[in-house]
Every structure is written in C-alpha cells, then in structure tokens.
C-alpha cells in the first residue's frame, strides 16, 4: 500500500497548513487540515481493508498465424473498488493498444481484449497486476498474479493449387497407396519400384549388391503416409508452413498421416484431434537434421535450406513454391 502522487500532494498541503497555523492560529488547521486528514485516513482504511481480488483466466483456443483471439479474465471482488487492470502480452502476440483497463470492479466482472497471433509457437499471456485505489485516488495497493494463459499458434497453411498437374498428382497420389502394415515377403528390385520400399538392411548383406523390395498385403483400405521434415538453422517457419500444408492436404483426402521432425514424432492417424496434434508439433519445431534412415523410409520428405523448400515423393523432387497459390487457406481443426 502506498500514497499516490495526489496523496503526497495532500500530505504536502497538510504540512504547509500546519506550518501556517503557527502564524494564523488553529482556525487554519480546522479549515484546511482536518478535512484533508479525514479523507486521507479514510482512504488508508479503505484500501487496507480491501481483500485480494480473485482471478480466473479463461483458456484460449489454438489458432493459426494471422488470426485473432480474445483474452478473457474474470475478477471477483467482495465490494466495489476502483482499479486499474494491466495484463502482459508475451512475444509472438500483439495488441493494437496496451492491455490496460481502468474500471470499477464489482462482484464477478470479466475483462476482455483481443490479441493477434503474430508468430507460430507456444506463447503466454500474463502475468497480470491489479492496482486498487480509494475513491479520491489518494492511496493505492498493488496485487500481482503470476498466472499465465498459454496460447499455441500453428504455422500458416497454404492452399495447394498452382503448378504442373503431374506435380500435384504426384503428391495427391500418395492417398491411393495401400497401407503398409501387413508385410508379405521380399522380392528382387524392378525398375520403377519406389525407393522407400527397398529393404536396405538385407540389401547391404548381399554380396552382389542386388536390391530387395518389400512386398505387402495390399487391399487393406486407406493408406498411411509418413511425412519427414527437417531444415537448416533460421528456416524453421518456412519448414513448418510447408509441412503443415502437406499434412493438411493429405488428411483432407482421408489418408492416415504420421510426422517425423527434429525433436518430435507423431504416428500415423486421422481426424481433427490428430490434425491438431500434428499442427501442435509443427508449431514448436526447430531447425535440425533427421538421420539418413528416417529420410529413406519416409513416404514424403520435406527439406528446407537456403535455396528454399523441396518435397521429395517417390524419387521425384518438387519445389514447394510451385505447388501453392501463395495464399493462406482457412483450416478447420
């Protein structure tokens, strides 16, 4: 608890009036000092008896870069009190105006403001402070709240559209592959077989360097695709956006999609919950290199370096910028 600038002004006036009373007599004290002292003491008592407000932060839904979310904080007080509520917005989020509200808190009151999701990643809103003051504004008391609201921001998802038709079909055609879960046997490599089906461990043991290919029992329904993605330092956002675009496009075709990135793995799955898990992994992915075995066995390999982002599918290498319209697309998760 402390005096405000106005409160210190009152103290100075009272002190000056006391000094003048030595010359003018006690009537100066009665006329000036007594009312000010009463108001100041009343303010001190009021603020001293003010209970700490109770704070409840509302959860914030995940979103994509460029979207807006509403931050809501419910504050509960025992009696009406003037207050200034000041929240903190962390890096990766932005607000058009500082999140500061001057209001009278009474009962349960919810304070809201909007934030823009500026950068992908896991961000925070908070901590928050509430400064309460008496009705005259002479005394104030600060309450600090360490609670924070997590905000997860997904990378931007682009719409696939521009580019050669055969390039788009090479990516979309993965959906027609059988699910590679029921292994049948090994056979000799034939020209045109995808390199992802080569059994490298067995081939390495053969003295004639002849390649062997896995045969699977197909006809098992929708395919399962593993997307592997890595990048050089400083290119994490570009990689995350490309991978998010690819996994979203495949999931929309009914494909079960798995994801491997530096520092995280999600097994193949489908549905909105799985989509959110993939996007959440890409929201926090950082630069790094995958091992060569992971790259070889992936159905789709996404690589971002200083020259841009490429997507490797069945030995074909596609440039990501030729597959997209350059515009973001609306995604429901």
210 in any annotated domain? no
Q: Quick check: 294 pLDDT over 80?
A: yes
Residues 163 and 246 in one domain: yes
Among the residue ranges 34-38, 80-84, 134-138, 236-240, the one predicted with the least confidence is 34-38
Residue 24's pLDDT is 62
Residues 176 and 318 in one domain: yes
142 in any annotated domain? yes
191-221 tens-digit pLDDT: 666 655 666 666 655 666 677 776 655 444 4
| Residues 247 and 227 sit within 8 Å (Cβ to Cβ) | yes
Residues 249 and 319 in one domain: yes
197 in any annotated domain? no
Residues 164 and 263 in one domain: yes
Residues 170 and 286 in one domain: yes
Q: Quick check: 329 pLDDT over 70?
A: no
In the chain, how many domains are there? Answer: 3
125 versus 178: the higher-pLDDT residue is 125
Residues 173 and 91 in one domain: no
Residues 134 and 178 in one domain: no
Specify the CATH number for the domain of residue 89.
2.60.40.10
Domain ranges, residue 254: 158-182+217-328
Residues 240 and 134 in one domain: no
Q: Quick check: 229 pLDDT over 90?
A: yes
Residue 32's pLDDT is 66
Report strand pairing: 256-261 vs 224-231: parallel
Residues 261 and 299 in one domain: yes
Mean pLDDT of 49-61: 91
Residues 74 and 114 in one domain: yes
Which alpha helices (DSSP H) does the chain contain, by range? Answer: 5-24, 27-28, 34-48, 165-172, 200-205, 236-252, 272-283, 292-297
158-199 tens-digit pLDDT: 887 655 445 656 666 666 655 444 555 677 777 666 655 666
How many C-beta atoms surround the C-beta of residue 290 within 10 A?
A: 16
Residues 224 and 307 in one domain: yes
Residue 92's pLDDT is 92
Residue 96's pLDDT is 85
200 in any annotated domain? no
8 in any annotated domain? yes
Q: Could you tell me which of 115, 110, 111 has the C-alpha nearest to residue 125? A: 115
202 in any annotated domain? no
Residue 166's pLDDT is 55
The mean pLDDT value of the chain amounts to 81
208 in any annotated domain? no
91 versus 7: the higher-pLDDT residue is 91
193 in any annotated domain? no
Mean pLDDT of 79-95: 91
The reported pTM is 0.72
Residues 171 and 291 in one domain: yes
């Amino acid at each position: 608890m402390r005096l405000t600038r106005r409160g210190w002004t009152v103290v100075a006036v009272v002190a000056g009036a006391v000094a003048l009373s030595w010359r003018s007599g006690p009537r100066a004290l009665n006329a000036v000092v007594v009312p000010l002292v009463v108001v100041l003491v009343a303010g001190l008592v009021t603020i001293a008896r003010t209970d700490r407000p109770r704070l409840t932060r509302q959860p914030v839904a995940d979103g994509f870069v460029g979207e807006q979310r509403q931050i809501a904080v419910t504050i509960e007080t025992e009696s009406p009190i003037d207050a200034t509520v000041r929240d903190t917005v962390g890096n990766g989020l932005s607000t058009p105006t500082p999140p500061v509200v001057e209001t009278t808190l009474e009962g349960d009151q919810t304070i809201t403001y909007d934030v823009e999701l500026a950068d992908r990643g896991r961000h925070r809103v908070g901590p928050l402070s509430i400064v309460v003051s008496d009705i005259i504004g002479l005394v104030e008391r600060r309450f600090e709240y360490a609670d924070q609201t997590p905000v997860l921001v997904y990378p931007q998802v682009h719409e696939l559209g521009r580019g050669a038709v055969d390039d788009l079909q090479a990516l979309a055609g993965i959906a027609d592959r059988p699910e590679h879960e029921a292994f049948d046997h090994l056979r000799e490599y034939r020209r045109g077989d995808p390199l992802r089906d080569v059994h490298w461990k067995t081939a390495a043991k053969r003295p004639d360097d002849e390649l062997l290919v896995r045969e699977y029992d197909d006809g098992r329904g929708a395919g399962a695709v593993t997307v592997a993605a890595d990048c050089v330092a400083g290119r994490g956002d570009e990689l995350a956006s490309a991978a998010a675009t690819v996994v979203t496009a495949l999931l929309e075709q009914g494909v079960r999609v798995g994801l491997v990135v530096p520092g995280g793995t999600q097994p193949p799955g489908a549905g909105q919950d799985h989509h959110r898990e993939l996007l959440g992994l890409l929201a926090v992915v950082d630069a790094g290199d995958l091992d060569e075995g992971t790259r070889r066995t992936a159905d789709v390999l996404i690589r971002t370096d200083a020259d841009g982002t490429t997507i490797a599918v069945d030995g074909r290498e596609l440039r990501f910028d030729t597959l997209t319209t350059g515009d973001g697309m609306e995604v429901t998760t």
